[in-house]
Structure 1
Amino acid sequence: MAVDTSISTEEFWLFGYGSLIWKPPPHFDQRIPGYVTGYVRRFWQASQDHRGTPDKPGRVVTLIERSFWETLSDPHPSASSDKVWGTAYRIETAKVAEVKEYLDIREINGYTIHYTDFHPADASPMIKTLVYIGTPDNDQFMGPQDPERLAEHIYRSKGPSGPNKDYLLSLETALDGLSPESGDYHVKDLADRLKKISEATGGVSRGKEALDHELKKVDSTDEQEETEKRIL
Structure 2
Amino acid sequence: MSDPTTLPSVWPDEFWVYAYGSLMWDPGFPYEEAMPGLIHGYHRSLCILSTIYRGTSEHPGLVMGLDRGGSCCGRAFRVASEHVEATVAYLDEREQVTKVYCPHFLETQLSDGRMVSAYTFVVRREHEQFAGTLSLEEQARLVAQGVGARGAAIDYLANAVEHIDALGIPDTQLHKVLKLARDFQSTAQNA
TM-score by length of 2: 0.87
Q: Give, in whole Å, the separation in 2 of the partners of 1:15 and 1:192.
A: 27
Verify the 8 A CA contact 1:172 1:183 in the aligned structure 2: no
* Structure 2 residue identity aligned to 1:168: L
CA drift of 1:116 comes to: 1.0
Unaligned runs of 5+ in 1: 67-81, 204-232
| Paired position in structure 1 for 2:108 | 118
Verify the 8 A CA contact 1:165 1:194 in the aligned structure 2: yes
* Structure 2 residue identity aligned to 1:185: T
Match of 1:197 among 173, 184, 189: 184
CA drift of 1:56 comes to: 2.5
The structure with the greater share of residues assigned to strand is 2
Paired residue secondary structure (2:16)? strand
| Paired position in structure 1 for 2:129 | 140
Q: What are the equivalent positions in structure 2 for 1:191-230 lying under 5 Å apart?
A: 191-201=178-188
* Structure 2 residue identity aligned to 1:126: M
| Paired position in structure 2 for 1:187 | 174
> Using a 3 Å threshold, how does the CA distance of structure 1 residues 56 and 194 change in structure 2: closer, same or farther?
closer
| Paired position in structure 2 for 1:128 | 117
Q: Give, in whole Å, the separation in 1 of the partners of 2:10 and 2:35.
A: 20
Unaligned runs of 5+ in 2: none
Q: What are the equivalent positions in structure 2 for 1:54-69 lying under 5 Å apart?
A: 54-66=57-69
CA drift of 1:142 comes to: 1.1
Deviations 1:159-216 (A, max 9, x none): 010011000111001100012xx1323312211212333443458xxxxxxxxxxxxx
Verify the 8 A CA contact 1:63 1:135 in the aligned structure 2: no
Asked whether 1:158 is paired with 2:158, we answer no
> Using a 3 Å threshold, how does the CA distance of structure 1 residues 57 and 200 change in structure 2: closer, same or farther?
closer
Aligned residues: 184
> Using a 3 Å threshold, how does the CA distance of structure 1 residues 186 and 53 change in structure 2: closer, same or farther?
same
> Using a 3 Å threshold, how does the CA distance of structure 1 residues 49 and 198 change in structure 2: closer, same or farther?
closer
Task: Give every structure 1 segment of 4 or more consecutive aligned residues whose post-TM-superposition deviation is greater than 4 Å.
Answer: none
Q: Give, in whole Å, the separation in 1 of the partners of 2:50 and 2:21.
A: 13
Q: Give, in whole Å, the separation in 2 of the partners of 1:103 and 1:185.
A: 29
- What is the CA RMSD across the aligned residues, in angstroms? 2.1
Deviations 1:84-109 (A, max 9, x none): 11100111211111111111111113
What fraction of aligned residue pairs are identical, expressed as a percent?
27
Q: Give, in whole Å, the separation in 1 of the partners of 2:182 and 2:111.
A: 30
Match of 2:17 among 9, 14, 17: 14
* Structure 2 residue identity aligned to 1:134: V
CA drift of 1:9 comes to: 3.8
Q: Give, in whole Å, the separation in 2 of the partners of 1:117 and 1:9.
A: 14
Paired residue secondary structure (2:129)? coil
Match of 1:106 among 94, 102, 105: 94
Q: What are the equivalent positions in structure 2 for 1:18-97 lying under 5 Å apart?
A: 18-66=21-69, 82-97=70-85
* Structure 1 residue identity aligned to 2:177: L
